[in-house]
Chains A and B, each alone.
Chain A
Amino acid sequence: MAITLHADVLKFATQDKPLTELDDIDALARTYRPRLLRFVMASVRDEDLADTIVQDTLLKAYRNRAGFRGDCSLNTWLTGIAVNLIRDHARTQKFKFWRKAHATAVDATDMANHLRSGGSSPESALLAREQALQVHQAMEQLSPNQRSVFLLRFIEEMELSEIADAMDMPVNTVKTHLHRAVKSVRARVGNRVGGNTL
């Protein structure tokens, strides 16, 4: 039996895959590392652990780049990897150690050292820093899922469907976590922000 292959099929089979954003890991890091680091740092609240998780996220994405089918945005895909790594770390004793270390060492005062406001005046800079700290402290009391959803929604400004993809949970579950998180943050920040009694 003779087998004939169409020229177009041969061409398709032999041509190299086009280079994507995922093929250059340094370019990937330049583009996405700051946003990932912001989200991971706000989630785990430890600089070294955040660095490690973000690096692992980028390396994992690079290694598994063939598996990215473009069903969601690259940012959502990367965020999903980061969320899973945070969950993995949360399950290990290592993370428990870091969490204990954080409870005693990395508090709002340390965070204040990181937050240097670029405000136009010292007063506005101070106010902005205070408000940022209050948000940071308010999120301390949230559960991991509530904190992740809250951060992804209001800090990373992702849509609910994107958060559902990244966290691998139904949209309704995302809404539930979000509403509980808002309720908690509202109770803590709402009474202090701007000196208003709300």
Chain B
Amino acid sequence: MNANPNNSNTPLRDSLSDEQLSELLAVPAKFASDETAEVASLRAALDDYRAEMLQWAERRSSVQTSLVAAAQRSRFWSAIPQWSLAAVAVVAVAAGTVFVTGNHVTSNPAAEETAMTASAPAPKADIAEDNRLLNSIDQELSFHSTHTPVDGFGLSATHGDTKPATRSEVTD
């Protein structure tokens, strides 16, 4: 095929539209017996590019390792999210159940016991015993307030404010 009938050796660039050129390039060379120099040149360039790139790709592919291990790994990792989602769901439900149930068990009885304790009248004997205990505590605190831990070692001189007479009174 020749798009320039005037001179077959010097085809014009505008002789073929882009669509025509595209269609001609897609036709195998063996079926394009008579084509313009432009089509022939572009076809040759594309053929070279195709062949060169395929050679490069074949060389590079020949040194690639097996994909079996990667396929197994990817299958394992693709399964992980399903397990993790299921595990997270179970843990969330369990935690929620324990939280709700635990609150119900621990809060309500405790509140009831507290209310009962606060409202029940205390026996007089218990009150008297509590008062005695409080008094003894007060006495102990007042005694210790004038003594320091080092007083037991007889180092009264270190405490200028402490009077020996008082100590003798206590010990007598």
Binding site for B on A (CB under 8 A): 25-26, 29-30, 33-35, 37-38, 41-42, 47, 51, 55, 58-59, 62-63, 114-118, 128-129, 131-132, 134-136, 153-155, 157, 178-180, 182-183, 185-186, 189-190, 193-194, 196, 198
* B41 and A194 contact, CB distance less than 8 A: yes
Complex CA–CA separation, A21 to B71 (angstroms): 15
Can you offer 6 A-B residue contacts whose CB atoms are under 8 A?
A: A29-B64, A132-B45, A132-B52, A155-B50, A179-B18, A198-B38
In the complex, residue of chain B having the shortest beta-carbon distance to the beta carbon of A119: B48
Interface size on B, residues (CB 8 A): 38
CB distance from A52 to the nearest CB of B (A): 11
| CB-based A-B contact count at 8 angstroms | 129
Knowing that A131-B48, A131-B49 touch, tell me 14 more A-B residue pairs with CB under 8 angstroms.
A25-B67, A25-B71, A35-B54, A37-B61, A51-B60, A55-B70, A63-B71, A63-B78, A116-B55, A135-B49, A154-B25, A155-B49, A179-B22, A189-B42
Binding site for A on B (CB under 8 A): 11-13, 18-19, 21-22, 25-26, 37-38, 41-42, 44-46, 48-58, 60-61, 64, 66-68, 70-71, 74-75, 78
Question: B60: which of A47, A136, A153 is its contact (CB, 8 Å)?
Answer: A47
- Residues in B neighbouring A186, C-beta threshold 8 A: 18, 21, 38, 42
- Residues in B neighbouring A128, C-beta threshold 8 A: 48, 51-52
In the complex, residue of chain A having the shortest beta-carbon distance to the beta carbon of B74: A59
Known: A37-B57, A37-B61, A193-B45. A182 touches B18 (CB 8 A): yes
